[in-house]
Structure 1
């Protein structure tokens, strides 16, 4: 009745009452004339489960707030816009702030500024926005600023296909910007991991004082899944190291009355940050190379030592934090095929692996969620237990494969789909079957046309 009133009230009370009467007539007719004669009944309700149902972008937003994000710089771009839509109410309730910037560059600059001011800060964008933000990525790297950038990937280049799926931004995230600087790149495989890896992104950014990129994609952004309700009391959170003179009784981080924001003597390259306004931690922030007290310098020795300081953070990350981001499903000591993949393609591959094993195929799998830096030993140890390595990806070139060829001795066979839609399990299954039927193929690049024939150039969709 409420729906009828809302629909017809502007036409007057008589029209509303007429529709009420029509509804009553229909209901009475069913009661009096239609009898149930079939044997079908609804089953009893299942035991309720303690789960939440979220979309991918919603899970990113929730994870950010749980991680302690208190500033989000927004600029609308498909398919990342809804991260801001989802986060805003929770952010305000938590005492945070969302600001819609005038453009992508300003949004990234605001994130860097908020992080300098002492709060956990994030932005979300897609491929074109990544291009515009790149200069500020390098600025965050040079100034050792903890920031989180969510890239909800879509088809490129240029405007591309804004609402379609692709895994085409990995090279950009890993190699974005001029010069070298420490960064980490994470990629969830499902909606639940969107939540937890967003928290991990903040933890890595805060611990290592560097940019961290989280790569999701258009399909994953809209995908809804149920997963166990997170127990936020058990989630470990990291916060940046902020200078406190009481913790520095020997004054190691003060020299000639100046705060050594970029001190060179720490083994892991991590040094305490100073919050603006703290008289004990006054320092300059600039994109120029700098000495320990933050003054700009262009001497060869200072440049060399500061670069080594920054990059030592990645050595610590690989030792202490990398292994948990490698999901191994490798029951065979010597598999016919080892599959390595990432992102949404990993979820698709899991079903394909089940199908293959049910037919007796010996196939191992590695699902990488930390895509940069690379734990070379873990990847190579996995590959040693496989006759050949296969890598399905939804991009033209096989971008993770490129990185592994650069960083390891692995020479995989790639399978590349780039039609703007995710792979389906039967395509991954068909790719592995094709390799088993053609044992002479030990490395190289295959497409849907190679595996399924030129008439199926788009794959099995």
Structure 2
């Protein structure tokens, strides 16, 4: 019996690879196992190699596994592309139809299972992925009955006969595999899970659910990988709460429409990826100077331009902080887990309204599309804060006067009213303006308004700006990261500790304004600092140096080939420093 393993299914895009992994993992989730899944897919709609790697454990996991225990292959390319990941003693379960071969029989055992033939005999070759699920379950020692509820939910709308046939395919695959395993039937059987109910969701779903729980009732967006699932989720859910989603003609329209809705008092978001955020930059500047709340999600992917639209990267940091022309206050947040993505979205709407500025929630493809086990969410923790939004009666203003919407205040935040409020009339313009919103180019006014807006950043309150894993008052090494690198860093940290290296870990969750007070003592108390990030220029490391200093002890661990970090990669690079 084993407590953890890594399973991968691969084949051509469009032949059911995603659904194979989905059915397999949902069933394991319902048994109480912790899961972490990551899909490798091409930017084509159909064709090209794709795979889904799922880590299964009796304890919490937050990263892809270094190696692979079981590879399920629907074509030879899957074996050729992924065989190197298999650990010694691994298993390849391949469709016998393509006469599979493996490059090293001493490393792994090949089991040729007639996925297609079994499925065809049962009615249609399309069920070959169900045969593969059954074969995998036999290796893990799983009771086939665990799939009944999952198959019913997925195929029930097609009729009971379809449900029955798919279950029959799973049973047939399991039976064939048990016969093939023979005396090795307990080779990779999993320890029993705790049976507790937990959610299993991608980061984009958590972001969408967090927006809904945080009071958002409108989304304007244009589809783009890897952000589209946020819009797709809310298209289904928002109407149930009196809200709606509009698919705009482009990202410029999406951002400006979201600004208009927020100005009207509706909590509104938009979501995109790097290319879309580039188009939004002028509008984000408009939100900054008009002090209109807006929440924008940036799901980072490989760039520049179209770049690697379906691959992992973390190269938008500098653009999100400094991308707009001119200087405006903005907040850039970076959740590191699916659970944090949910709670951070709620907080993003609160901060946007409290400080009347753009808030960018920064994720990456691994976090946005990777699927993780999530503990039950605590909805009673949700708090809606609307800042200085005036809801009562306003005092009368002098004849021909206007409400001081941009009043200079000590904390930089002015009173805000909704359109149509009696005595709340004011100007709104993208040019510099006075306290009532009237255009003004007076030097003293410009300084007063600019200082007022930027003062907001000094008062930003964020619950946990840095996730700290501090084990030592004085560390040999401090590892710093953001977004989805957290799991790989945590595992590397454990291995380095076993080697006798004292390691602390800081995961930055508030990118801007940078949490200097929290980071400075951690950097000062470490002999060396390693910043782990998926980009080529060390953007987070440069931000750290700008805000904290100690550049002489900061080292980069960079990866920008489109793939996420594996724990051993972080471990190896850190170990090289000692």
**What TM-score range do you get, normalising by the shorter chain?**
0.7 to 0.9
Shift of 1:238: 1.8
Task: Select which of 220, 233, 236 maps to 2:383.
Answer: 236
**Counterpart in 2 of 1:449?**
none
Superposition pairs of residues 33-432 of structure 1, within 5 angstroms = 46-246=193-393, 251=395, 254=397, 257-264=401-408, 266-317=409-460, 321-322=461-462, 324-411=464-551, 412-432=554-574
The answer (yes or no) to whether the contact 1:326–1:367 under 8 Å persists in 2 is yes
Q: What is the alpha-carbon distance in structure 2 between the residues aligned to residue 73 and residue 269 of structure 1?
A: 28
The answer (yes or no) to whether the contact 2:255–2:280 under 8 Å persists in 1 is yes
The answer (yes or no) to whether the contact 1:51–1:227 under 8 Å persists in 2 is yes
Q: What is the alpha-carbon distance in structure 2 between the residues aligned to residue 7 and residue 323 of structure 1?
A: 52
In structure 2, stretches of 5+ residues that fail to align are 1-120, 127-160
Change beyond 3 A, Cα 1:346–1:258: same
Change beyond 3 A, Cα 1:156–1:255: farther
The answer (yes or no) to whether the contact 1:245–1:280 under 8 Å persists in 2 is no
Deviations 1:279-307 (CA, angstroms, capped at 9, x unpaired): 22111211011111111101001010011
SS in 1 for 2:271: strand
Shift of 1:193: 1.6
Change beyond 3 A, Cα 1:44–1:171: closer
**Counterpart in 2 of 1:451?**
none
The answer (yes or no) to whether the contact 2:466–2:515 under 8 Å persists in 1 is no
Shift of 1:339: 1.2
Q: What is the alpha-carbon distance in structure 2 between the residues aligned to residue 98 and residue 5 of structure 1?
A: 40
SS in 2 for 1:172: helix
Matched length? 409
Q: What is the alpha-carbon distance in structure 2 between the residues aligned to residue 359 and residue 323 of structure 1?
A: 34
Shift of 1:342: 0.7
Q: What is the alpha-carbon distance in structure 2 between the residues aligned to residue 254 and residue 358 of structure 1?
A: 70
Change beyond 3 A, Cα 1:293–1:255: farther
Q: What is the alpha-carbon distance in structure 2 between the residues aligned to residue 383 and residue 323 of structure 1?
A: 21
Q: What is the alpha-carbon distance in structure 2 between the residues aligned to residue 165 and residue 68 of structure 1?
A: 30
The answer (yes or no) to whether the contact 1:243–1:281 under 8 Å persists in 2 is no
SS in 2 for 1:324: coil
What's the C-alpha RMSD, in Å, of the aligned pairs? 2.8
Change beyond 3 A, Cα 1:335–1:46: closer
Q: What is the alpha-carbon distance in structure 2 between the residues aligned to residue 255 and residue 410 of structure 1?
A: 56
The answer (yes or no) to whether the contact 1:391–1:415 under 8 Å persists in 2 is yes
Q: What is the alpha-carbon distance in structure 1 between the residues aligned to residue 347 and residue 487 of structure 2?
A: 20
Deviations 1:139-161 (CA, angstroms, capped at 9, x unpaired): 00001111111011111101101
**Counterpart in 2 of 1:12?**
none
- TM-score when normalising by structure 1: 0.83
Shift of 1:359: 2.1
Shift of 1:178: 0.8
Shift of 1:6: 10
In structure 1, stretches of 5+ residues that fail to align are 9-15, 437-461
Q: What is the alpha-carbon distance in structure 1 between the residues aligned to residue 511 and residue 191 of structure 2?
A: 45
SS in 1 for 2:577: helix
Deviations 1:372-409 (CA, angstroms, capped at 9, x unpaired): 00122221111111011111111011111111222221
Please say if 1:433 is aligned against 2:567.
no
The answer (yes or no) to whether the contact 2:465–2:515 under 8 Å persists in 1 is no
**Counterpart in 2 of 1:456?**
none
